[in-house]
Amino acid sequence: MTSPVRTRTTVGIVGAGPAGLMLAHLLALAGIDSVAVDLRSRREIEETHRAGILEQDSVRLLVDTGVSDRVLRDGYEHEGIELAFGGAGHRIDFRGLVGASAQLYPQTDVFIDLADARERDGGDVRFGVTDVAVHDLTGPQPGITFTDADGVAQEVRCDYLVGADGSRSLCRRMVPEDSRRQFFREYPFAWFGILVEAPPSAPELVYNHSERGFALLSQRTDTLQRMYFQCDPATDVADWSDDRIWEELGARVGANGYTLREGPITSKSVLPFRSFVQEPMRHGNLLLAGDAAHTVPPTGAKGLNLALADVRVLAEELERAIRKDDASTLDDYTTRALGRVWKAQHFSYWMTTMLHALPDATPFDVRRQLGELALVTGSEAGSTYLAEAYTGWPATTARSTR
């Protein structure tokens, strides 16, 4: 049996999506070497369409660390959103309320910018690997074994190992049950998402509450739009013709005074809803980041932003541990990261339950939702909370809830 090709590095990263690549980039800026691996090819990741609403701090992270300023050139700044209910739209003015905005910039483009930056800077990123396994998580030199894209067996040994390998994380599963706590909620609905070749139906995102269920009008570019409507998690996209989709979306948003600009539908998918957190986010010399540690419903636009916030903190804590040669300082990572994670879990849950049609809802429940929406949009304090949470809490305010 041929011995694997061995590589020694400081930080091994399983997962080369936005979280893993941003971490590798931040570590490189601090003079810390890393190797990142991913089961997917670069092309496969680039062709997976994901929405992207970036908080202000996420935009700053991309620009100020030298990843790219394309987010400013090609992204779309949104200074508010609309909550539509009761027959009309109600604008939440982010800029006026909290002096902030959000940036519409697809996750695919965030990935491309990061992958280009790692290639530009000579980073060691290995896409399209197979047979990934992690080893010796509590030992002084944890490892990653895999077969690379050319079929060659590889072994990476490192001082610290990071699991940034998404919601089906291999690394997360390697933490023993008696060393972790898991918190989980599955929602009784999903989103039916479409990509549409059409001009925008509205200048900003519209979060639509209706008797038929939730709908979201989102934008992508001047000619490509993303739209969603609430559906059963067991929905089969094959059962939905384009005409049926337009009829359903039109009925939901039309009840609140919006008119859709239709066009060819180029993609259809069903997105289930889950909330999940695993604590702690460290086990020995393994650290978890992004969806490997937590997932949120998409209603609050927090998933990608949480992942970027995680690795910003993790890069700081890893640098401190490496400089001091003291791994015990990494306990602060869990404490700092979870403060933001649980605030985002609350915000995402709140937006989700306020806007969606809930199974077995009574007339009282529906009217209570409308009352809550009226309270949020009719109160400066309520609107300010939504604006602050949506555009992102400054990193310096994060505190643990534990």
Active site residues: 78, 207, 298, 302, 390
Burial zone of 241 (CB within 10 Å; 0-12 exposed, 13-18 middle, 19+ buried): exposed
Beta bridge partners of 275: 185
Only one residue has tokens 């893993």, namely 20
Let me know: does 190 contact 273? Beta carbons within 8 Å: yes
Burial zone of 61 (CB within 10 Å; 0-12 exposed, 13-18 middle, 19+ buried): buried
Per-residue 3-state assignment (H helix, E strand, C coil) for the chain: CCCCEEEECCEEEECCCHHHHHHHHHHHHCCCCEEEECCCCHHHHHCCCCCCEECHHHHHHHHHCCCCCHHHHHCEEECEEEEEECCEEEEEEHHHHHCCCEEECCHHHHHHHHHHHHHHCCCEEECCCEEEEEECCCCCCCEEEEECCCCCEEEEECCEEEECCCCCCHHHHCCCHHHCEEEEEEEEEEEEEEEEECCCCCCCCEEECCCCCCEEEEECCCCEEEEEEEECCCCCHHHCCHHHHHHHHHHHHHCCCCCCCCCCEEEEEEEEEEEEEEECCEECCEEECHHHCEECCHHHCCHHHHHHHHHHHHHHHHHHHHHHCCHHHHHHHHHHHHHHHHHHHHHHHHHHHHHCCCCCCCHHHHHHHHHHHHHHHHCHHHHHHHHHHHHCCCHHHCCCCC
Structure tokens at 131: 């047979």
